[in-house]
Amino acid sequence: MKITDAVYALDSTKGNYVYVVLGKEIILIDTGRSKNGEGILSDLKSMNVDPIDIKHIFITHHDMDHTGSLAYLEQATGARIWASEEDISVICGKKNPDGLKKLVKYIIKVNPPKNINPYPKDHKIGNVEVIPTPGHTRGHVCLLYKDVMFIGDLFRTSDGKITPMYSLMNWNNKLQKESISKINKYHFNWICPAHGEPIRNKGQINEL
């Protein structure tokens, strides 16, 4: 699904969207669940994007519906993988996730990638600004590309409206609220969530 000339939501990942940014270097935002890998590659193929054209994979946070196909896509693309320092330790299995997610980890196993880089200290990679937005997880980030804000699980959308995440799934609800106010200070025309459909930003974030 086309969002802007350079940004597409990959149809096979509807429900927990993976996005592709066709910038100077092609970027994937998140990787979906562990069974999403092949669908992601076939969505990209239909856009004439070869796996090896993907230069970066940006991870918004450590949850397994965002990192499930990370190892698969690392191998298929050879892309550089980025995530926040706090969440890398969970992605690589060195630390347990917080709260209820600890239990899920024992039921669903996700392979870690071979290489993963912490986001740079200046919060910039190419044309993407990395915005730390802790709350859902300790190291959750939003990613701003031009006028498109990729919000990961900062909130979701439902029937064209922004909707809070289930508070039980957040590491820290107070920080989550602060992070929502933080991104409201940025200028963007599109909100691209993992869960729910992308919507135009009508300045309604403060209502959360």
Name the residue with tokens 């004439």: 48
Smallest gap from Cβ 173 to Zn ion, in A, equals 16
Pairing of strands 128-132, 199-200: unpaired
Contacts of Zn ion in 136-175 (CB under 5 A):
153
Q: Does 30 bind Zn ion (CB under 5 A)?
A: no
Report helix, strand or coil for 161: strand
Closest approach of Zn ion to the CB of residue 153, in Å: 4
Q: Compare residues 56 and 66 and give the one whose CB is closer to Zn ion.
A: 66
**Applying CB under 5 A, does 74 fall inside the site for Zn ion?**
no
Number of residues that bind Zn ion (CB under 5 A): 4
Tally of CA atoms within 13 A in the half-sphere of 109 that contains its CB:
1
The only residue of 9, 17, 20, 65 in contact with Zn ion, by rule CB under 5 A: 65
Residue type, 18: V
H-type alpha helices, the chain: 37-46, 64-67, 70-77, 85-91, 101-107, 173-183
Nearer Cβ to Zn ion (49/68): 68
The site for Zn ion (CB under 5 A) is made up of 63, 65, 153, 194
